[in-house]
Structure 1
Amino acid sequence: MNKLHITLLLFSTVLFSCSDPVVSGPAREQRSLDHHWRFYPGDVSDAHQKDFDDSTWRMLDLPHDWSIEGAYDKNNPAGIAGAFLPTGIGWYRKAIDYQPEWDNRRVAILFDGVYMNSTVYINGKVLGTRPYGYIGFQYDLTDYLVPGKNVIAVKVDHSKAPSGRWYTGSGIYRHVNLLVTGQLHLSRHGVQVQSELERLDLATVRITSTLENHSSGPGSVVLHQILRDKEGRVVHEQRSEKTAIDREEVVDQQFTLEDPLLWSAESPENRYVLETRVLDGRENVIDEVSNVIGFRKIEVSAEKGLLVNGKKTIIKGMCMHHDAGPVGAAVPEDVLRRRLELLKQMGCNAIRTTHNPFAPEFYRMCDEMGFYVMDEAFDGWEVAKAEHDYGNYFEEWWQQDLTEFIKRDMNHPSVIFWSIGNEVRGFTDKRQHELVGFIERLDPTRPVTQGEGSEGTAIGIAGMNGHGEMKGAIADFHRKHPGKPIIGTEITHTYQTRGVYRTRTSYRRRDFPAPWEQGQSFDGLKDKIYLIPDLSEKEVFPESGLPYQSSYDNSIVRMGIRDYWRETKDKPYFLGAFRWTAFDYLGESFGWPARTAPFGIMDLCGFPTDNYYLYQSIWSDKPMVHLLPHWTHPGKENVKIPVVVYTNTGGAELFLNGKSLGRKMLKEDELQLVWQVPYQPGELKVVARTDAGKEITKSYKTAGTPAAVKISTDRTGLSYKEGDVAHLEITIVDDKGTEVPQANRKLHIEVSGGGRCLGLENGDILDHTPHQSPYRKTFNGKLLALVGADDTAQDIGITVSGEGLAPARLTLEKLD
């Protein structure tokens, strides 16, 4: 395939209630079932029975991940992959009361994700089992419900570990909802929309709606659709009549729209709303679904690269795993949104969901905030990569899970690529064609790729992981396959630890080899990778030992960040790359006692390392300047310290204690400025100037002895109903309020009133303190606390204290 030309209109589904004069209750009602489940960590033979006594079980809210609540132990069976956290079997139970308005209605339960091997029961009757932990599913409860109390029970069997190559979590770790509809209603993912934009000012829109009829006889309906722009104005309206609907019926519709506003990562506000109403013969609404709309035109070719709405676009992407530090896999929406905001501020425009489907709210946020998504279905296929992973179930389940995955996500404008796997072991060209063909029958509008799958002939875009970081690898592939565009599915890999610096370059194979690199010679690799000059002849920071890594751009596998940009930004056939990774993630370390390998440019807390700002200087158009390292280095007086500055303004001037150390200009593709500065305590300051003459500064002051605790928060109040989460950034400061960047002090966190601490994290990959403990040390001066609200009406009090430190106190208003 020499050219991929995709023109799309895509929708993300939002459900809401609508008054119905015929039936008792709304036409379609979806409500959360997240609150007040009973949980037991272990197997109980009769826990599925309706009358089982669960009164002694723990009460909790979903989403929930029991692994992250456990103790780190090198003997836990999940091992390196699972960050040495526990797995096992867990049971959840919840009672719901039958509602009179459910009479002659359909009632279903929707799970967004359960890890893994979940079996769901209602009143002792089994509804089904799903092995894959990363995709949602739905069960119809209608025929099992009885007047009065009904009991839902869920067994989660994660007893066989490791079940993945990274931390997976355990439990009902995503949202659960109850859905009530009429007997005749739109099916699950029942409105699918595509369009063709032959010109940017004209869209041909095709809508496929699927109706289900559970009534005793055939029905007759009118499908009424209204398209509204972002101001709420009606821009199109249409009706289609359908008679004699049996069990399932598909309705196809088509219309054209002139001058649509075009969605992109730069213009995510250009969204519409499509209202789909199902009307009976008397014009009564019997079902209704609302969809958020994004029109966009995507073109992919080896000649021009990626064009979005006719504009040349480079993927400035990040790979992400689904966990988030102290909350593990059960990620509150506020935590996810904060992480995406940090990526947006950095200049990132794309995310690869490695290596599995994410939660539905992730895609809604990407639509809203403006990210292009490479949506990945699986890690491997029929050959297991971890002993107990999905490969053991793939042959039986892949078609059902892939169907759910594509239909769930294909309406999102943010999703522009499908990925069918990553570094798939033993894959065949035949199997690759089978998966690609299956996807194209469901969604022929998007290109399909595969991480490290370029040996196959079925994929339209060649995905390159680590081998693409070797010198000349991308260009060599292009010479052999000149008509196939290339994307970096994992480029590049570097290591960094917040607040840690080394001035001599580190190479993984030579200095900290991975288990599979043990005994391999570095000499044979030197000519194939991008060597980085040392910043000093003698190591300036010998006290910063492994496994902590340097936050200069000089701790690499094959290629540093600056070399990635130099080598890829001007290749027309190269669409861009997804860096490994955005955030540190649990698991996949090189062994105990490390909980992770620090690939992330943000740590387990979500605190940026210095390399975050290097990417920002390359990717962002907003003027910025950053310098490193910090300026508290007792005992290094008069030692020359390499001071590095990242900026996108073209140059900068450095000052020490008010004296200029000179102004330097960035040379072409240099991407950093370096001064060798003899250390003296005081203030180190950099000044950059924009073309308009505006000054941008960054400075550090030498800190004294730790004296106090400081708290900053992103919220002043919390709502229990909304599931709000406050991020508390806790910092050790001296008596003048200056951050002490090397302080590692044990702190105690007390949350009183109407709140609860969801978890603590410091970013130290060797710290095994349980996340639910009320104490944790700071790491290089900082600690993160996540605080949520409970179901009481009290304001939330927070006190952070430590021996020899003035405590900090904060009050958050209760908003419910």
Structure 2
Amino acid sequence: MLRKPFNDGWTVVPKQSLFAAALAPAAPSRVTLPHDALRDLPRTPASPNGAHSGYFPSAHVVYDKAFHAPQEWADKAVVVTFDGVYRDAVVYFNGDFVAQQPSGYSPFSVDLSSRVHAGSRNTLRVEARTHQDSRWYSGVGIYRDVWLAVADQIHIPVDGVTVTTPEVGADFAVVAVAVEVRNDARRQQTVRLRSRVTDASGATVSEKSVPVTTVPGEHAVARVPHYVREPRLWDIDAPDLYRVESVLIDGSGDVLDADETVFGVRSIRIDPIHGLRVNGRSVKLRGGCIHHDNGPLGAAAIPGAERRKVELLKAAGFNAIRSAHNAASRALLDACDEIGMFVIDELTDVWTVGKSSFDTSLSFPEWWERDVEALVRNDRNHPSVLLYSIGNEILEVGRPGGAVWGRRIAEKVRNLDPTRPLMNSVNALVSIIDSKVTAQDHSVPVDFNSILSSDGSAGVGAAEIATVRTEEAHAQADVAGINYAEARYDLDAEIFPDRVIVGSETFPSRLDRLWELVQKHPQVIGDFVWTAWDHLGEAGTGRAVYADDPLQPVGMASPYPWLLSQAGTIDINGIRRPISYWRETVWGLRGEPYIAVHRPQGYGRELAVGRWAWDDVLSSWAWRVEEGAPVVVDVYTDADDVELLLDGVSLGVRPVGIETRPQARGFIARFETEYRRGTLVAVSRRDGEEVGRAELRSLMGDAVLVARAERKKIGATPDHLAFVHLTLQDGAGTVAVDESAEVTVTVTGPGELVALSGAKPDDDQPFAGPTHVTHEGRLLAVVRPTGRGRIRVAATSAHGKTSVQVTAD
């Protein structure tokens, strides 16, 4: 069935009791999906969800859509597909219950064929809710795309085409197409399936047809092998895609149904000798974990935002992402296919033992098979998906019940998709947390949070009891996903030499040591940092904390108004943080040095940098401090040493590598100096020869407000977005990081302002509305097109006025 977007014409309203609605009904708001109804609700320190959700409240909302069904739908199959509704969705059609989906991340379809009022008005209602059911910001509502498909009673079900490439070579590839054909008519009928494969240019590379006899009420599967000569292989550096068109034709030659499936020709091999090979090429995964939200857009998985996220991650050196800890959106996977990004798609954060009061564990025992089916059905044709992860830090792992569930889930995935390997993201410390293991002095019981935040977690993860407790979980998988226990890499190379490993979740500041281990061991196929992109909720997990800060964290959680995790390599506005450039240097992708300056206002203050945090640094030499104020300057480089110069005067030469613990790190040269206005230059040298240089400048004159659109031209449909950066800067482009301004934004033309964000981690300003304060000299405006034409985005502040034009076409 060919799907069409079904995202417009919706309204949303808070759920009210029958009596409250009768006395004072809430006014519905018109929205275009995808939409997050939680983002604009008021945050409060008293939120029962606390730091987990970023102090957002619980919510119960109702979406409604009325539409006219043409008379010709009377004898048609009519299906509405939801890519994701968070959460405990209940669907009503024309007033009657038609579907339920507890999981907030599983796609599901609703067959409306027998209930459609053909030739008249129909109504669709979806209820969704969230309440203490997540360890991060979840959003609420229909936050992913909705689709409508209408076809003949004999048709191809939604996602009913499977494409695999069982044999891939330079001269030809076997493309195996399996098409489900459903007969909802009253009689047996033989139809013909025409299957055509086209390349990126639209040229036909293979075409076949086969007869298919269908029985009422049953699915038939037609298998068509295609042989593609000299195939263009999909890889992250050359993400070439093909399409297969599947058309059902009756005996009279009339088209009954059609479907189109995008796929890539590529092979995956995993073994302990060669590690991961894609199309025969050995690959190490430079990975990052990401949550599902889109920062200032909340959880709304608008395709334009999902695509931009992948583009910026790839530009920062990542070649792989892990969807933590839930199934990725179809829009994100489409972007990964088209741009070239490997994906580990994760099923869930819990199985039968919960981590939150009302999480998925309440429905998992009954719904797990349907959730696995939804994951695989959504993923199986995406060449970007390398592995499935069946869980994250599952609390049952290490116990007999967990072993039973792990094997059950793994075999279900393999039965549905035998072409991809799978893993379980295991935290060895979690598996032994109920044991009698003690700390190194053998007298203090293990405390989970303190150990996880210290160097000791890796050692505990490699303890003998952890080896025993996790062995069956890893044996059930094709790849051992190891969270925060890199000490296992050397150990497992000895005791489990055939075990293939991926660092499925790792501390960001350890990459220099981690990447050395990844390169050392062929069976370690990559590293996935927590996190690649910052996210809402888990507030303050990645925060560097000054001892004199009045808002001190409790455990790993920071108090209100903290909103963001701040563990991201890239912030929620898509701006690369300094750690991003350090990571790029460690990976060997960056030759140019990068200057990161410790905030001068923090000099001499006690700073605690947790395991998910980075130093309090910015790449700036434009500070509002007195001349001569002491300051620490770091230079990230893979050279031997660095010379620092200010206006041509040398400030000294430092070797690369910091030995002082606990901040011992490679690829950094550190300088103690004084702040003075001018041009700061770092020169990196190897064997005495210059190999690169970088510079920072102080502000030259007053800062003014400047607007810059990432793209001057975007699509005219609501799945596209315009991202406009508003910056306080001087004429040379130096950002005034120590200045702030209240900025008011207006949008004219066929577009609407959908978000304003400064990416301030403890911001108490909402993302909605036309006014916001800059953070570190920056602000991001996000505009959604409402039609074709020129969109003008104008901004005013005490630093002046500015505008930019974007064309929606």
Q: Give the match for residue 769 of structure 1.
A: 765
User: Superposition pairs for residues 36-435 of structure 1, below 5 Å?
Assistant: 36-45=9-18, 56-159=27-130, 161-197=131-167, 199=169, 201-246=171-216, 247-269=218-240, 271-427=241-397, 428-435=402-409
Quote the offset at 1:75 in angstroms. 1.4
Q: Does 1:574 align with 2:564?
A: no
Q: Is the 8 A contact 2:85 2:128 kept in 1?
A: no
Q: Per the alignment, in what secondary structure is the counterpart of residue 416 of structure 1? A: strand
Say which structure is richer in helix.
Answer: 2
Quote the offset at 1:746 in angstroms. 2.5
Q: Per the alignment, in what secondary structure is the counterpart of residue 136 of structure 2? A: coil
d(CA) in 1 for partners of 2:38, 2:666: 45
Q: Per the alignment, in what secondary structure is the counterpart of residue 616 of structure 1? A: helix
Cα 1:336/1:55, change in 2 over 3 Å: same
Quote the offset at 1:723 in angstroms. 3.4
What are the superposed Cα offsets for residues 463-493 of structure 1, whole Å, 9 maximum, x if unpaired?
111233xxx3321233222211110100234
Q: Is the 8 A contact 1:706 1:743 kept in 2?
A: no
Quote the offset at 1:55 in angstroms. 10
Q: Does 1:475 align with 2:483?
A: no
Q: Is the 8 A contact 1:418 1:449 kept in 2?
A: yes
Q: Aligned to 1:800, which of 791, 795, 799?
A: 795
Q: Per the alignment, in what secondary structure is the counterpart of residue 160 of structure 2? A: strand
Cα 1:153/1:46, change in 2 over 3 Å: farther
What are the superposed Cα offsets for residues 553-601 of structure 1, whole Å, 9 maximum, x if unpaired?
xxxxxxx232222333221111111111011111112032222331101
Cα 1:334/1:122, change in 2 over 3 Å: same
d(CA) in 1 for partners of 2:262, 2:237: 17
d(CA) in 2 for partners of 1:353, 1:293: 20
d(CA) in 1 for partners of 2:333, 2:733: 40
Q: Give the match for residue 413 of structure 2.
A: 439
Quote the offset at 1:661 in angstroms. 5.6
What are the superposed Cα offsets for residues 76-135 of structure 1, whole Å, 9 maximum, x if unpaired?
222221111123211111111121332422111111111011111111111111111111
Quote the offset at 1:273 in angstroms. 2.0
d(CA) in 2 for partners of 1:46, 1:30: 39
Q: Aligned to 1:458, which of 473, 476, 488?
A: 476
Cα 1:797/1:251, change in 2 over 3 Å: closer
Cα 1:198/1:695, change in 2 over 3 Å: closer
Q: Give the match for residue 611 of structure 2.
A: none
What are the superposed Cα offsets for residues 719-751 of structure 1, whole Å, 9 maximum, x if unpaired?
553433111211122577532111233322233
Q: Per the alignment, in what secondary structure is the counterpart of residue 699 of structure 2? A: coil
d(CA) in 1 for partners of 2:252, 2:353: 56
Give the percent of matched residue pairs that are identical in Structure 1 and Structure 2.
28
d(CA) in 2 for partners of 1:152, 1:373: 37
Quote the offset at 1:139 in angstroms. 0.9
Q: Per the alignment, in what secondary structure is the counterpart of residue 399 of structure 1? A: helix
Q: Per the alignment, in what secondary structure is the counterpart of residue 81 of structure 1? A: helix
Q: How many residues align?
A: 713
Q: Does 1:657 align with 2:672?
A: no
Q: Is the 8 A contact 2:145 2:301 kept in 1?
A: no
Q: Give the match for residue 804 of structure 2.
A: 810
Q: Give the match for residue 522 of structure 1.
A: none
Q: Aligned to 1:487, which of 490, 497, 502?
A: 502
Q: Aligned to 1:783, which of 779, 783, 806?
A: 779
Q: Per the alignment, in what secondary structure is the counterpart of residue 75 of structure 2? A: coil
Q: Does 1:646 align with 2:639?
A: no
- If asked which structure has higher relative contact order (CA below 8 Å, sep 6+), I would say 1
Q: Give the match for residue 540 of structure 1.
A: none
Q: Per the alignment, in what secondary structure is the counterpart of residue 316 of structure 1? A: strand
What are the superposed Cα offsets for residues 6-48 of structure 1, whole Å, 9 maximum, x if unpaired?
xxxxxxxxxxxxxxxxxxxxxx553222112121112354999
Q: Is the 8 A contact 1:618 1:671 kept in 2?
A: yes
Q: Is the 8 A contact 2:654 2:671 kept in 1?
A: no
Cα 1:754/1:187, change in 2 over 3 Å: closer
Q: Is the 8 A contact 2:9 2:66 kept in 1?
A: no
Amino acid at match of 2:581: Y
Q: Does 1:583 align with 2:533?
A: yes
Mark the runs of 5 or more structure 1 residues left unpaired by the alignment: 1-27, 495-559
Quote the offset at 1:201 in angstroms. 4.0
Q: Is the 8 A contact 1:208 1:250 kept in 2?
A: yes
Q: Does 1:681 align with 2:648?
A: no
d(CA) in 2 for partners of 1:46, 1:260: 64
Q: Is the 8 A contact 2:759 2:775 kept in 1?
A: yes
Q: Give the match for residue 746 of structure 2.
A: 750
d(CA) in 1 for partners of 2:304, 2:640: 36
Cα 1:672/1:91, change in 2 over 3 Å: same
Q: Per the alignment, in what secondary structure is the counterpart of residue 489 of structure 1? A: strand
The worse-fitting range, judged by mean Cα deviation, of 721-730 and 653-662 is 653-662
Q: Per the alignment, in what secondary structure is the counterpart of residue 261 of structure 1? A: coil
What are the superposed Cα offsets for residues 696-729 of structure 1, whole Å, 9 maximum, x if unpaired?
7542211267542111111335555343311121
Cα 1:208/1:649, change in 2 over 3 Å: farther
Q: Aligned to 2:576, which of 608, 611, 617?
A: 608
Q: Give the match for residue 519 of structure 1.
A: none
Mark the runs of 5 or more structure 2 residues left unpaired by the alignment: 428-469, 540-556, 598-619, 659-664
d(CA) in 2 for partners of 1:257, 1:809: 50
Amino acid at match of 1:614: W
The worse-fitting range, judged by mean Cα deviation, of 99-108 and 40-49 is 40-49
Quote the offset at 1:781 in angstroms. 1.4
Cα 1:566/1:39, change in 2 over 3 Å: same
Q: Is the 8 A contact 2:144 2:329 kept in 1?
A: yes
TM-score (norm 2): 0.82
Q: Is the 8 A contact 2:234 2:264 kept in 1?
A: yes
Superposition RMSD on alpha carbons, in Å?
3.0
d(CA) in 2 for partners of 1:645, 1:596: 27
Q: Is the 8 A contact 2:492 2:499 kept in 1?
A: no
d(CA) in 2 for partners of 1:742, 1:718: 33
Amino acid at match of 1:451: S
Q: Is the 8 A contact 2:479 2:499 kept in 1?
A: yes
Q: Is the 8 A contact 1:346 1:620 kept in 2?
A: no
d(CA) in 2 for partners of 1:613, 1:705: 28
Amino acid at match of 1:429: A
TM-score (norm 1): 0.82
Q: Is the 8 A contact 1:298 1:309 kept in 2?
A: yes
d(CA) in 2 for partners of 1:736, 1:186: 58
d(CA) in 2 for partners of 1:45, 1:148: 31
Q: Does 1:716 align with 2:687?
A: no
Q: Does 1:598 align with 2:566?
A: yes
Amino acid at match of 1:313: V
